[in-house]
Structure 1
Amino acid sequence: MKVLVADDDPGSLMVARAAVERSGHDCLAAADGDQAWALYLEHQPDVVVTDRVMPGMDGLALCRAIREREEDLYTYVVLLTSQGSREDILAGLKAGADDYVTKPLDPFVLQARLLVALRVTTLHADLAHYRRVLARQARTDPLTGLHNRLKLSEDLEQLHQWSVRYGERYSLAMCDVDNFKTYNDLYGHPAGDQALRAVAEALLGSVRKSDGVYRFGGEEFLLVLPKQSVSGAKTLMERALDAVRNLAIEHAGDPSGQLRLSAGISAFTAEHRVDAVTLLGEADAALYAAKARGRNRVELARQSG
């Protein structure tokens, strides 16, 4: 572990540092609260052992600052207090300390506290890891590996707010696999799943790194294209449709004899400053227009053309 020790008493600081290093941990030392806070921000230690009374930021203020800043990982805080100071102990725990050690400092006691701290910080690190994994799973389509509707709503809201604030444009492209129900009827759902994964890969290979590709539902996909003009979005989508054609997936239920894709595009521009929900509706309407005009094509929303 990385342990930060803060104490304005040189003797106590030396004893604490020796106990930390004897336990096999890396030690950072601070002679006052302000220095401790600066070291905390720079190094993000796993454990902080801090005196209650110090020049500058005292131990209670340091505890509060640590708790207010924490996001994912947890810092275990041990408060050093005067012998028998119950008020200091309660105040420290209320401020966010996890444990306390009375002074004069006993190295054995501190080493024992560090063993507890190791268990607790390891547990918190494991929990943080599992939270991240679950968060990714909740925002990922299990079939294609693309982002799902939840992630789309988060990303699109953020992009829209940013575009409104800075006057940037962006485009949306709603895509749909042509005659997909017929494909499933002819070849079976496992083949349909495989086809959707192939289409997802083709779409990912057609966009820029800054673009987002989402499974919108069923055989529908949505592409979010930051800072992309309507003409640029149309060129990109025509390239994406070519990529799907190049997959050469047989589809006896399509007039072309192969799996094809249709797409509709809408855009947020200086002349068309509507909300994201409206843009989604416009892209969807453009997709339906592409279907009505023979499929296997890209159409622009009337408001974006």
Structure 2
Amino acid sequence: MDVLIAEDDLTTQVILQTLVTAWGYRPVVTSDGREAWEVLQQPDAPKLLLLDWEMPGFSGLELCKKLAEQADENPPYIILLTSHAETDRIVEGLASGAHDFIGKPFDKAELQARLSVGRRMLEMQRKLIDAQQQLAYEATHDALTHLLNRRAVLKALQALVSKSMSEHSCMSVALVDIDHFKRINDSYGHPMGDEVLIRVAETMQTCLSADDSLGRFGGEEFLVAIDSDPDGAARLMEELRTKIAEIPFCLADQTVNVTVSAGIASLSGDDSLRLDDLLAAADRALYQAKADGRNQVVLAETDLPLL
């Protein structure tokens, strides 16, 4: 773990650098508070800090205050080095954002122990952040395909609809369904069906731009929110349909090709309609693609109802 040592006294610098290196840390040494602040603005800045209370540039106390003002979900752990042992000074340092302090001259064993506490706190903080991020991911993503789940992709679709209306631009939504998926499950088993879902999802992702959103809408059905007009959406869905049809699936020692059908509905930025109407139009187009023989893309034929 990196340790930032901000200390203007050269002798103390050398002592601290030697000690923390012997204890298994990687020292990053600065001679004043302004230099320390510049180091702390880097993406890979140390999280365990030893800051001298009094030094040129910014004092350790000023650095604490500046760091406390930053919105950081993974803030550093700060130990102030100070010759001020008065209670009111210690309280001031802790109130400014420091987590701990150690007096000068310091005891080596005490310093090592306080650094160990800081390291443990940072490790627990990192684990908590990772757990929160994992929970947030699981709340918005499908466990099998790792695409957005139904709720999250509908939220992305609503955001694209709002953008289209505010910018008076076109957008489209496509509902994509794997053809004869029940037959795949019945003939080859659900594990093979899951493999088909995963491969189809991966292939679809390769076709989309950063402005598009893809999610598993339910079962073998996917929703694509497309930042494009009907023609652009149709070209995209045709590319997607063709790529999926070319995937060789090895199911029960057989090479099987899987196809999809898609229905597209589009919105002009000058329109005003409910999201349900847009989805209903795409669903009708998907139904038509199925009725016409599957493995095709159909655009919604009628204008969408305006509010």
Mapping of residues 138-217 of structure 1, within 5 Å? 138-153=139-154, 155-156=156-157, 159=160, 169-178=170-179, 180=181, 189-190=190-191, 192-208=193-209, 211-217=212-218
Q: Measure how far apart 1:82 and its partner are.
A: 3.0
Q: Measure how far apart 1:221 and its partner are.
A: 0.2
Aligned twin of 1:110: 111
1:139-193 deviations in whole A, cap 9, x for unaligned?
Answer: 3322333332344245446655666676664432111234655765677655544
Q: Measure how far apart 1:40 and its partner are.
A: 0.7
CA distance in 2, matches of 1:150, 1:33: 47
1:222-243 deviations in whole A, cap 9, x for unaligned?
Answer: 12333x3321210221233334
Alignment: residue pair count: 297
Q: Which stretch shows the higher mean deviation, 169-178 or 37-46?
A: 169-178
Q: Please, what is the CA RMSD of the aligned residues?
A: 3.7
Q: Measure how far apart 1:210 and its partner are.
A: 5.8
The alignment status of 1:123 with 2:124, answered yes or no, reads: yes
Aligned partner of residue 241 in structure 2, secondary structure:
helix
The alignment status of 1:38 with 2:38, answered yes or no, reads: yes
Aligned twin of 2:237: 237
CA distance in 1, matches of 2:272, 2:53: 56
Aligned twin of 1:17: 17
Q: Which amino acid aligns with 2:86?
A: S
8 Å Cα contact 2:157-2:213 kept in structure 1: no
Aligned partner of residue 287 in structure 1, secondary structure:
helix
Aligned partner of residue 224 in structure 2, secondary structure:
strand
CA distance in 2, matches of 1:90, 1:277: 58
Aligned twin of 1:283: 282
Q: Measure how far apart 1:216 and its partner are.
A: 0.9
Aligned partner of residue 97 in structure 1, secondary structure:
coil
CA distance in 2, matches of 1:84, 1:245: 74
1:31-64 deviations in whole A, cap 9, x for unaligned?
Answer: 3333221111124112111133444443334224
Aligned partner of residue 46 in structure 2, secondary structure:
coil
8 Å Cα contact 2:165-2:270 kept in structure 1: no
8 Å Cα contact 2:166-2:269 kept in structure 1: no
CA distance in 1, matches of 2:224, 2:74: 33
Q: Which runs of 5+ in 1 are unaligned?
A: 250-257
Alpha carbons of 1:199 and 1:27: their partners in 2 closer, same or farther (altered >3 Å)? Answer: closer
CA distance in 2, matches of 1:170, 1:244: 23
1:255-283 deviations in whole A, cap 9, x for unaligned?
Answer: xxx86533222335444476766644543
CA distance in 1, matches of 2:164, 2:21: 51
1:202-222 deviations in whole A, cap 9, x for unaligned?
Answer: 434544566443101122101
Q: Measure how far apart 1:22 and its partner are.
A: 3.5
CA distance in 2, matches of 1:97, 1:163: 47
Alpha carbons of 1:51 and 1:264: their partners in 2 closer, same or farther (altered >3 Å)? Answer: same
Residue identity (%): 37
Aligned twin of 1:265: 264
Alpha carbons of 1:73 and 1:218: their partners in 2 closer, same or farther (altered >3 Å)? Answer: same
1:10-38 deviations in whole A, cap 9, x for unaligned?
Answer: 45444433433333322223333332211
8 Å Cα contact 1:74-1:125 kept in structure 2: no
Q: Which amino acid aligns with 2:263?
A: G
8 Å Cα contact 2:160-2:225 kept in structure 1: no
8 Å Cα contact 2:84-2:90 kept in structure 1: no
Q: Measure how far apart 1:98 and its partner are.
A: 1.8
Q: Which runs of 5+ in 2 are unaligned?
A: 250-256
